[in-house]
Amino acid sequence: MLEETHRAARNLAETTELGSPGQRTAEILATAPLDVGPLLGPVLDGDRAALEREAVRLQLEAGPLAQILDLALQPFLWEAAAQLAKLTDLDRWDRGYCPVCGAWPGLAGLVGPEKRRVLRCVRCAAAWSWGVLLCPYCGNDDHRRLRVLLEEGTSERIDVCEECHGYVKAVSAYTSVSAAQLIAEDVATADLDVIATDGGYKRPGDVDVATAGVPRSSRQPRPEGAPS
């Protein structure tokens, strides 16, 4: 893991603005004998407070530290997702967050001529089928509160929820793409992120992790006297 951290840091140091805090942090982490073990949990959980405390202790910038560790973890998460896919049917996962690493979906693939919606985790490349009229964040399944923002002249779109103000980018695909292609697709559709955030949407939306993706209609209390 330390070797991957050094590799990710070297790459970031070479591609980040010279002299910026991020570039300086990357240069330090490219050779530092960092004990990454205690940081893996906070990185996977997205525990920003824990990472900021560690960054202060190490006299580093929290943002680049988190980015480098996230990149260093990716090859291991890709392998974990591939192995889990052989052991169980990830496609049947029924929650809005990734079944492998717990991240929120980076985008959705609209696969095949039927445009089957498949959520994709950009961090580990896991894929699972998802209903077109269901928000993966808050579970909103009221079609009147779900919208689609179309990118004119392309096969791309943005699915937005008016309940939690979350969004998911969506792209047409005939087959499920590889991990490397997925990252490239996420970067190539950065303009959709700008459109969504300018419109007041975010990723994820306002979400309760305990019920993320569970259809709201199934959570409604039963009327008194209704059969169970």
pLDDT, one tens digit per residue, over 52-88 is 888 888 788 888 888 888 888 888 888 999 899 899 9
Tell which residue, 194, 70, 169, has the closest CA to residue 118: 169
Tell which residue, 169, 166, 147, has the closest CA to residue 158: 169
The CA distance from 155 to 114, in Å, is 14
Q: Find tokens 């073990």 and name the residue.
A: 37
Domain 90-218 class, CATH top level: alpha beta
* 108 has a pLDDT exceeding 80: yes
What's the confidence (pLDDT) of residue 220?
67
The pTM assigned to this predicted structure is 0.78
Tell which residue, 120, 161, 110, 157, has the closest CA to residue 139: 161
What's the confidence (pLDDT) of residue 222?
52
Residue 122 vs residue 178, higher pLDDT: 122
| Count of all residues that appear for the chain in the document | 228
Residue 223 vs residue 93, higher pLDDT: 93
What's the confidence (pLDDT) of residue 174?
67
Task: Locate 26 and state its tokens.
Answer: 């990357």
The CA distance from 171 to 181, in Å, is 12
Would you list the domain boundaries of the chain?
Answer: 2-84, 90-218
The CA distance from 147 to 165, in Å, is 11
* Mean pLDDT along residues 143-147: 95
* 228 has a pLDDT exceeding 50: no
